[in-house]
């Protein structure tokens, strides 16, 4: 299970450096004002995301959610034929943009990063995080803009009872795939 993380620990952590560059490029393309704010806080190198990338969100998610996230991320990476961990961090930063924009110092940012997984009022959704990572990657031009391949369903469509999930899921852009599974809308 840890084999996919092995490159993170090899060659002087070169893989992490590459993922930090990829994270910066994704934020620059999709969240310019947020990236400028992080730069102003003194986090231009984004090393505050180091642990998220190194351990693939193990600290930020419960054990069960970690395994759900890893499986969903691995499926999305297989479909994309590309590594998506940096995009998962970018998706988290984008989703929590308001919180991040209110931070006033690098110390505040480090505190936020260290507590992001323990915020019970706003828990991380592992499937949404993997899906958003894939959608960010797709939006940056590798696939149809904003379309992705629909390989990772939204959590609400998976967790809700089938009868109740259909109207809510359709409104959220999730449709029923052949075989009864959930699929992201391609529109």
pLDDT tens for each residue of 105-125: 999 999 999 888 777 677 889
Does residue 27 register a pLDDT over 60? yes
Q: List Cβ neighbours of 83 (8 Å cut-off, separation of 6 or more).
A: 19, 22, 77
pLDDT tens for each residue of 130-141: 999 999 998 886
- Determine whether domain 3-146 maps to CATH 3.40.50.300: no
Of the pLDDT bands very low, low, confident and very high (cuts 50, 70, 90), residue 14 is confident
pTM: 0.71
Of the pLDDT bands very low, low, confident and very high (cuts 50, 70, 90), residue 142 is low
Q: DSSP letter string over 14-60?
A: HHHHHHHHHHHHHHHHH-HHHHHHHHHHT-TT-GGGHHHHHTTTTTT
* Domain segments of the chain as ranges: 3-146, 153-187
Burial class (CB in 10 A: 0-12, 13-18, 19+), 2: exposed
> What's the pLDDT score for residue 186?
33
């Amino acid at each position: 299970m840890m084999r996919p993380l092995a490159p993170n620990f090899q060659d002087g952590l070169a893989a992490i450096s590459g993922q930090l560059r990829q994270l910066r490029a994704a934020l620059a393309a999709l969240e310019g004002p947020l990236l400028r704010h992080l730069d102003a806080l003194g986090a231009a190198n984004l090393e505050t995301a180091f642990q998220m990338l190194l351990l693939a969100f193990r600290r930020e998610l419960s054990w069960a959610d970690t395994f759900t996230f890893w499986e969903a991320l691995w499926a999305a990476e297989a479909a994309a034929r590309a590594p998506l961990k940096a995009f998962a961090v970018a998706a988290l930063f984008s989703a929590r943009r308001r919180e991040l924009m209110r931070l006033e110092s690098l110390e505040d940012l480090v505190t936020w990063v260290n507590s992001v997984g323990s915020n019970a009022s706003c828990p991380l959704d592992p499937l949404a995080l993997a899906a958003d990572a894939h959608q960010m990657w797709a939006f940056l031009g590798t696939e149809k803009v904003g379309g992705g391949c629909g390989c990772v369903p939204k959590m609400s469509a998976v967790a809700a009872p089938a009868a109740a999930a259909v109207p809510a899921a359709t409104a959220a852009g999730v449709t029923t795939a052949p075989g009864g599974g959930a699929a992201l809308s391609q529109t």
